[in-house]
């Protein structure tokens, strides 16, 4: 039994309210659901609500010294980048002191005509557009209308009337594209000082934006007491929310989410039509696409790169380990099995699917994971395929996404060729078409378990296009979610019988393709816990088609920790038709 205060702080949240709703819906579920769906509801979904309550109660301990160190490192780097960017923009008239003096002497209108402005604000959309496109004379890579971005190639083909409806975009994707174009121009004119200056400014702006994702978002101390010493942190004190100005902590701030017990308690947010997430702090991969840029940004100032931000999540007890199990292939594997494409399934089961596709995309059988840039590029293309209806129309968006992620330019013909390689999975392509036709004809899509997702009729082409993407996303993402929930329930049932649940094994999070626990070191003897996970993940629980999925498991001192106690993945044995630990 829990103390009432503990209950309300840690349990009366998403999980408990979700469970109450589930219990109240039992009668309706019996009357209105098809038998297979109803069976799943009572056998998995209701027990799952208990699992989620345990998860939210457990929480994830935060290494306070680690988060404090990382915060200081990001703030230091941000300040250096900001100072350098401000110095550069002053040369273009962004100077508050000069601006105020000029306004006092000749008035605001005349001052603006001189090109003087207050200090440059990298968060101001209006200032960014003025600075980058009017003062630096950069050519916009994208144009936007009500948030919808169109590439330059599209914009230049439009009528003047249509062009007037769109404004230049200075978002990350657009600026990353411009940065690459400046690099290409510098190859031809390496001594052009003006070109060098513009490139450095754009680079510093992008670097600042990437660093600020951490310094001003995940590691923000807004609304959190700022003078927290390492000693206070270790004692779990000094994290008073709010200040004299009444500032509230940012929703995404880990600092603001740390509770009095020194933990962040993950929220559960249900969503079957896409991946589960939360607008509040959660322990899903934070800005993982940005992380690859960080070492290079820090090295230009000769600063030591900070640890992976996920290292702040640890066990908080030397007798416990941090265990993570990922579903192998996840979305891609489920897509293969749902489509029943024999070639696609075989490629998935062989393992190393992303490496296989990379070699195919770039026509080089010798490529390996070590070719980081091409590996990331191939993953970007592959995941786009799974969730994009108009396959060839995805070429430009993929090219832009790769620009934004790592600054690499991939020739559009390479991307188009990569997309065409999927046409050899003929049965899978037919499955994609069947899903889209179901939405077009019936305004709904049914997943493999018979759960329907309905669409309201509309003539809006943009909405209809979104529906076609949903036609592909829903069957895959919902199946993965339901599979993960089944896994969670089975793990708890088994460990509860063994008498170790919530005593030696505590659930702390579950995301769309991974489960996380705090595991006592005794459960690792004779690989007991890894074998339990392997049995349940790869044998006991099946997806709706009756197939099993593989897994990879890491047990360490913390999330993404280097002190690994166990790190293995399963490999499909084509003879025994089972998943076995890779040797």
Decide if 131 contacts 92 (C-beta within 8 A).
yes
Q: Which residue has the higher pLDDT, 306 or 394?
A: 306
Q: Which residue has the higher pLDDT, 372 or 287?
A: 372
Dist. CA 18–CA 126, nearest whole Å: 42
Q: Which range has the worst mean pLDDT, 72-81, 278-287, 352-361, 466-475? A: 278-287
Q: pLDDT value at position 451?
A: 83
Decide if 159 contacts 127 (C-beta within 8 A).
no
Mind giving me the DSSP string for 224-260?
B-S---HHHHHTT----B--TT-PPPPTT-HHHH--T
Q: pLDDT value at position 145?
A: 87
**Residue 331: closest CA among 536, 530, 472, 515:** 472
Q: What is the per-residue pLDDT across 22-58, written as a single tens digit (0 to 9) for each?
A: 777 777 777 777 777 778 788 888 888 888 889 888 9
Q: Span 549-568, mean pLDDT?
A: 95
What stretch of H or E contains 505?
Answer: strand 505-511
The percentage of the chain sitting over the pLDDT mark of 70, rounded to a whole number, equals 88
Q: What is the per-residue pLDDT across 119-130, written as a single tens digit (0 to 9) for each?
A: 999 989 899 999
Decide if 349 contacts 547 (C-beta within 8 A).
no
Q: What is the per-residue pLDDT across 513-544, written as a single tens digit (0 to 9) for each?
A: 899 999 999 999 999 999 999 999 999 999 99
Decide if 481 contacts 490 (C-beta within 8 A).
no
User: Cβ atoms within 10 A of the Cβ of 372, count?
Assistant: 10
Q: pLDDT value at position 311?
A: 93
Q: How far apart are the first and last CA of the chain?
A: 45
Q: pLDDT value at position 473?
A: 87
Q: Span 425-441, mean pLDDT?
A: 92
Decide if 15 contacts 59 (C-beta within 8 A).
no
Q: What is the per-residue pLDDT across 344-363, written as a single tens digit (0 to 9) for each?
A: 999 999 988 999 999 999 99
SS3 120: coil
In this structure, what token pair is assigned to residue 517? 């626990």
Burial class (CB in 10 A: 0-12, 13-18, 19+), 366: exposed
Dist. CA 511–CA 477, nearest whole Å: 12
**Residue 286: closest CA among 225, 218, 362, 196:** 218
Alpha carbon of 344 to those of 353, 423, 538: distances in Å? 10, 11, 19
Q: pLDDT value at position 276?
A: 45
Q: What share of the chain is helix, strand, coil (3-state, %, to 5)?
A: 55, 10, 30
Average pLDDT of the chain, as a whole number: 85
Q: Span 248-269, mean pLDDT?
A: 83
Q: pLDDT value at position 287?
A: 66
Q: What pLDDT band is residue 1 in, cutting at 50, 70 and 90?
A: very low
Read off the DSSP letter of residue 34: -
Work out the angle between the directed axes of helices 372-387 and 353-361 (0-180°, nearest 10).
100
Dist. CA 418–CA 437, nearest whole Å: 25
Q: Span 360-379, mean pLDDT?
A: 86
Beta pairing partners, 520: 320
Confidence check: pLDDT of 274 > 70: no
Q: What is the per-residue pLDDT across 128-150, written as a single tens digit (0 to 9) for each?
A: 999 999 999 999 988 998 777 78
């Amino acid at each position: 039994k829990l103390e009432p205060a503990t209950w309300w702080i840690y349990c009366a949240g998403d999980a408990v309210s979700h469970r109450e709703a589930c219990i109240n819906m039992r009668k309706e579920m019996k009357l209105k659901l098809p038998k297979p769906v109803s069976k799943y509801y009572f056998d998995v979904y209701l027990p799952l609500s208990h699992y989620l309550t345990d998860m939210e109660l457990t929480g994830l301990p935060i290494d306070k010294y680690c988060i404090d160190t990382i915060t200081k490192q990001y703030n230091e780097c941000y300040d250096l980048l900001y100072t350098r960017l401000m110095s550069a923009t002053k040369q273009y008239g962004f100077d508050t002191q000069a601006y105020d003096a000029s306004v006092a002497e000749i008035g605001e209108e005349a001052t603006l005509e001189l090109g003087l402005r207050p200090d440059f604000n990298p968060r101001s959309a209006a200032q960014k557009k003025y600075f980058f496109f009017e003062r630096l004379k950069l050519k916009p890579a994208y144009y936007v209308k009500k948030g919808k971005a169109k590439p330059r190639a599209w914009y230049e083909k439009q009528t003047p009337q249509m062009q007037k409806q769109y404004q230049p975009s200075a978002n990350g994707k657009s600026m990353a594209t411009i940065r690459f174009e400046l690099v290409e121009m510098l190859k031809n004119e390496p001594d052009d000082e003006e070109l060098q200056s513009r490139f450095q400014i754009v680079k510093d702006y992008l670097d600042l934006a990437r660093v600020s994702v951490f310094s001003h978002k995940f590691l923000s101390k807004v609304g959190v007491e700022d003078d927290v010493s390492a000693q206070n942190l270790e004692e779990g004190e000094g994290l008073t929310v709010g200040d004299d100005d009444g500032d509230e902590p940012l929703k995404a701030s880990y600092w603001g989410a740390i509770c009095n017990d020194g933990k962040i308690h993950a929220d559960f947010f249900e969503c079957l039509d896409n991946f589960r997430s939360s607008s509040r702090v959660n322990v899903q991969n934070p800005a993982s696409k940005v992380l690859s840029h960080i070492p290079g940004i820090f090295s230009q100032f000769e600063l030591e790169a900070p640890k992976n931000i996920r290292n702040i999540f640890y066990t908080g007890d030397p007798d416990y380990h941090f265990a993570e199990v990922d579903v192998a292939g996840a979305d891609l594997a489920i897509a293969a099995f749902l489509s029943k494409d024999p070639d696609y399934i075989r490629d998935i089961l062989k393992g190393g699917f992303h490496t296989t596709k990379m070699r195919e995309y770039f026509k080089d059988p010798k490529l390996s994971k070590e070719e980081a840039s091409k590996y990331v590029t191939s993953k970007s293309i592959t995941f786009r395929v799974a969730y994009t209806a108009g396959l060839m129309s995805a070429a430009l968006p993929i090219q832009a996404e790769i620009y934004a992620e790592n600054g690499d330019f991939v020739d559009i013909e390479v991307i188009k060729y990569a997309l065409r390689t999927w046409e050899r999975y003929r049965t899978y392509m037919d499955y994609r078409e069947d899903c889209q036709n179901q939405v077009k004809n019936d305004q709904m899509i049914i997943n493999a378990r018979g759960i329907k997702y309905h669409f309201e009729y509309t003539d809006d082409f943009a909405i209809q296009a979104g529906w076609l993407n949903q036609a592909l996303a829903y069957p895959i993402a919902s199946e993965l979610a339901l599979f993960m929930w089944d896994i969670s329930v089975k793990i708890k049932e088994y460990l509860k019988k063994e008498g170790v649940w919530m005593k030696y094994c505590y659930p702390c999070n579950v995301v769309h393709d991974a489960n996380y626990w705090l595991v006592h070191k005794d459960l690792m003897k004779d690989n007991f816990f890894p074998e339990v996970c392997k049995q349940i993940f790869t044998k006991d629980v099946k997806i709706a088609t009756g197939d099993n999925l593989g897994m990879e498991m890491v047990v360490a001192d913390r999330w993404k920790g280097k002190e690994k106690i166990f790190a293995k993945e399963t490999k499909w044995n084509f003879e025994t038709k089972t998943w076995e630990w890779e040797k």
